Amino acid sequence: MAEPKITSIETLQGYAQGQVVELPPFAEDQPFVARICRPSMLALTKSGKIPNSLLTTANDLFFDGKPNSRKTNNAMSDVYDVVEVFCEACFIEPTYKQIKDAGIQLTDDQLMFIFNYAQTGVKALEPFRKQPTGAVSVLPG
C-alpha cells in the first residue's frame, strides 16, 4: 500500500480560495453564484467575532443544528446574528459587506444555505437544494 502524499502548501493555499457555489436563487430565473469558504467556529469565537452573548446560540446551532428549546424573547434575533457572523466569514466574492452595502437582503433560504455550508460543506447541502437530478451545486472555480 502506497504511503499517502503530503498536501503541499500551494494546494492548501488553493483550498483557502474557497469554492464557487450556486446558492438558492433570489427568485425564479435569478441565480446567485458566489465564492465562499468554510470558516472555523473556534477561530471566529477566539477572534471575538462571535460575541459571548451569542456563544450559547452559536454552540446550539453548530453542534445540534437547531437553537436550544429555551424560551427567550430574542431567540430568533440571536439566531440571525449568529448566521450573519457566518455570512461575513464565508463570503469571499462578493463579500457579505458588499452585498449589504448594495442594499441586498439575502433570503432565509440563502442565509441557512450559508450556515449549513459553513458547518458541513457542499455534500450536506444536496438535500437542502431543490435541483433536478444530476444538477451540480458546485461550479469549477
Q: How many CB atoms lie within 10 A of CB 107?
A: 14
What confidence tier does 133 reach under pLDDT thresholds 50, 70, 90? Answer: very low
Domain count, the chain: 1
d(CA 135, CA 141): 17
Q: What is the pLDDT of residues 9-40, one digit of tens each?
A: 999 999 889 999 999 999 999 999 999 999 88
Q: Tell me whether residue 19 is in a domain.
A: no
Q: What is the pLDDT of residues 48-85, one digit of tens each?
A: 888 777 777 776 766 555 555 555 567 788 888 888 99
pLDDT of 130 reads: 53
Q: Which residues pair with 29 in a beta bridge?
A: none
Q: Tell me whether residue 6 is in a domain.
A: no
3-state secondary structure of 35: strand
**Residue 57 identity:** T
Q: Tell me whether residue 3 is in a domain.
A: no
Domain that holds residue 122: 45-130
d(CA 23, CA 86): 15
What would the grid cell of residue 16 be? 483557502
Q: Tell me whether residue 113 is in a domain.
A: yes
